[in-house]
Chain A
Amino acid sequence: MRRILFTAFLLLAACAGATAQRSDYALKTDFEERARAIAARLDSASTTEAIDSAREDITKLESDFASHSEFLDKALYPLTFTESISRLRSLQVLTYDRVYLIRTQGVKLSELEARISALTARLDTLTAQRDQLFGELQESKKSLASLREAVRRLTANLSAKDRLIFAIVDSIFLPYGKDLHQVADVQKEAIAQRLQNANVVTRVYEIAADNVKFLDVTQLQGKDYAGLIDQYQAFAGRWAGLKEKMTDVAATSAVVAGEAGTAAHGGKPAKGKTPAHAAAESAATQAAHVDSVLDDWHRRLIAGFWGGLQKEFAQAGITVNEFHDGPSFAASVRACIASLSASKQDPQPFVENLWKQKIDRDWRDGLTREGMLGRAEYAALDRAVSELSRETIDGTFVAYIAGVLALIAGVWFFVFRKKKASPPPAPAE
């Protein structure tokens, strides 16, 4: 009987608890106060244990209020419930990172942030200068000297921006060492946040787009291309490395957030996309945009290069097959050499005026770059052209020798043979 009464009392107490009246305002302030308390604990945390404990509190807070998320989305305006939890998680990640860096690397987060901030400011200054330089480029199209100067300054500006953005990237990744696989998930999340805060992908995109615009509005000379090819290849290589790292940290962030969200929703996956998932997707989309503009950059650079080279042939009056890459260029030049050699035409305009004066002087640097023609293939073509020249020299030389020999024979015939024909007068006796 006592047991029955006790059970009934417990049931009543549970019902009373369930139907207890509660103020929405109290619910909101309760959430806010608990969130504030966690943030304060994180601010003052100096050990990873304290941060881990705060992390558990965040998960509990999320779990406790998940059923009121719809109400809190409105009541916490301008934040939503999810954003408030995300802010706490971000704070926890950054605090963990701060404590970890000070402990293991001796790098103060403030110094790192200051370095990134200074580099970002310099990059923004260069962006402002770039706009001015594009303006100058438009204005100076009439004068060749000022046009060349504007092109030179703009190239230097784009190159400096390129170096700066990857200096920012290096500053972000450097404290964690080279092997990203050994970096803890929570630090990868911190890296992802720092990349996002420094707006790295957008800036990389802008630089690539600037280069596309530059190629679009500029008339380049043969000798300009070597530097531009080097710049593109270095940029593409560094972007590939950065993209790989970004994919790694973005995937980790999404997994970390996914686990936290599942834990907060009692083992069930959270409805909709978490901010980390959204950020990972956004990073993937942005990366795809960078890839696309990089393809455009490469296409324009290559088209400009081979198109400019083809123009040199046309201007020199040499007809060659159309070419659009290293192998087709080599084939065209070899065909031209063979044609000149077979037709016994004077090869001087091709050898001297075009190859030596233009191609070897202005285009060689670009042509010898790997991915264009390459050093070995250029050397082979240069040898073939030189042989064509030697064949010409040898023919002339043979003709010259034959002429000289004919002259000597003529002289001998007329002088010595005449002497033999008229015998000396007989001495008078």
Chain B
Amino acid sequence: MICQRTLIIAALLCLSGCSVLMLEQVDFGWPVESVVTVSSSNTIEDVRYSVRTGVGPLAREEFQDSTALRGARLRLLRNSAGFYFLTGPRFKHVYVFAPGPSTLTLNRAIPVTETGLKDPALNQRPPYVELVDGDNFRRLLTSDDIVEVKK
């Protein structure tokens, strides 16, 4: 009897020790997008939030040329859930990345226009990210898709 109880207590202790500490209701959202210029070394850097990354693979994906983005001004915004939204002029997609250890992994490339964006901007509209391009182009995005189209 005593042996059984000891085993149960030991099992409970083991289970509680194995559970992962998790902090919830974290808001990663930036209040305003960062407008970053792609450097000659094909990187972008946001000083306020200390984010630096290479964009060669992104340029290859969007324009089939890893150097196509050099000198371009890209728009970068992190939403409340922690995904990075990235786009820029002539882009047909908004790229949504999930952060990992020293990496940004593509979560979804959301197609937004066939002709390419002209002067895009990303706005934080929790729980969405708003994409605007001039006066008559507006999309509400999640990390996976477009949820609303308004003109």
Contacts and interface: CB of A to CB of B under 8 A. Distances in A.
Given A75-B31, A77-B48, A24 B135 contact: no
A71 to B, nearest CB: 7
Interface string B121-151: 1111000000011111110000000000000
Interface stretch (A14-22, A111-119, A268-276, A291-299): A14-22
A375 interface: no
A23 to B, nearest CB: 3
Nearest to B125: A24
A23 B32 CA distance: 9
Contact of A75 (B32, B35, B138): B32
Given A28-B32, A77-B48, A23 B135 contact: no
A24 B77 CA distance: 11
A25 B33 contact: yes
Interface in B49-97: 75
A23 B48 contact: no
Given A71-B31, A74-B32, A24 B121 contact: yes
A16 B134 CA distance: 12
Contacts of A71: 31-32
A77 B47 CA distance: 13
B131 to A, nearest CB: 9
A25 B132 contact: no
A21 B31 CA distance: 17
Contacts of B138: 21
A357 B133 CA distance: 96
A368 to B, nearest CB: 68
Interface in B111-128: 121-124
A28 B75 CA distance: 14
A24 B75 CA distance: 12
Given A71-B31, A74-B31, A75-B32, A25 B121 contact: yes
A21 B33 contact: no
Nearest to B29: A74
A23 B77 CA distance: 12
A101 to B, nearest CB: 39
Interface residues of B, number: 17
Contacts of B136: 21
Contacts of B124: 24
Given A74-B31, A74-B32, A75-B32, A24 B48 contact: no
A26 interface: yes
Contacts of A74: 31-32
A28 B33 CA distance: 10
Interface of A is mostly: helix
Contact of A20 (B75, B122, B135): B135
Contacts of B134: 21
Contact of B35 (A16, A20, A25): A25
Contacts of A77: 31, 48
A21 B138 CA distance: 7
Nearest to A28: B32
B132 to A, nearest CB: 4
Nearest to B123: A24
A81 to B, nearest CB: 12
Contact of A21 (B32, B35, B75, B135): B135
Contact of B32 (A20, A22, A25): A25
Contacts of A24: 31-33, 121, 123-124
A21 B137 CA distance: 8
A415 to B, nearest CB: 124
B31 A25 contact: no
Interface string A22-64: 1111101000000000000000000000000000000000000
Q: Which of B31, B122, B133, B135 has the most CB of A within 10 A?
A: B31
Nearest to B132: A21
A130 B31 CA distance: 49
B132 A22 contact: yes
A77 B135 CA distance: 28
Interface in B31-52: 31-33, 35, 48
A23 B89 CA distance: 14
Q: Which of A16, A21, A28 has the most CB of B within 10 A?
A: A21
A68 to B, nearest CB: 11
Nearest to A26: B121
Contacts of B122: 23, 25
Given A16-B135, A77-B48, A23 B31 contact: no
A23 B134 CA distance: 9
Interface in B1-35: 31-33, 35
10 contacts: A21-B138, A23-B121, A24-B33, A24-B123, A25-B35, A25-B121, A25-B122, A28-B32, A74-B31, A75-B31
- The 5 nearest A-B residue pairs measured at CB: A23-B121, A74-B31, A21-B132, A75-B32, A24-B123
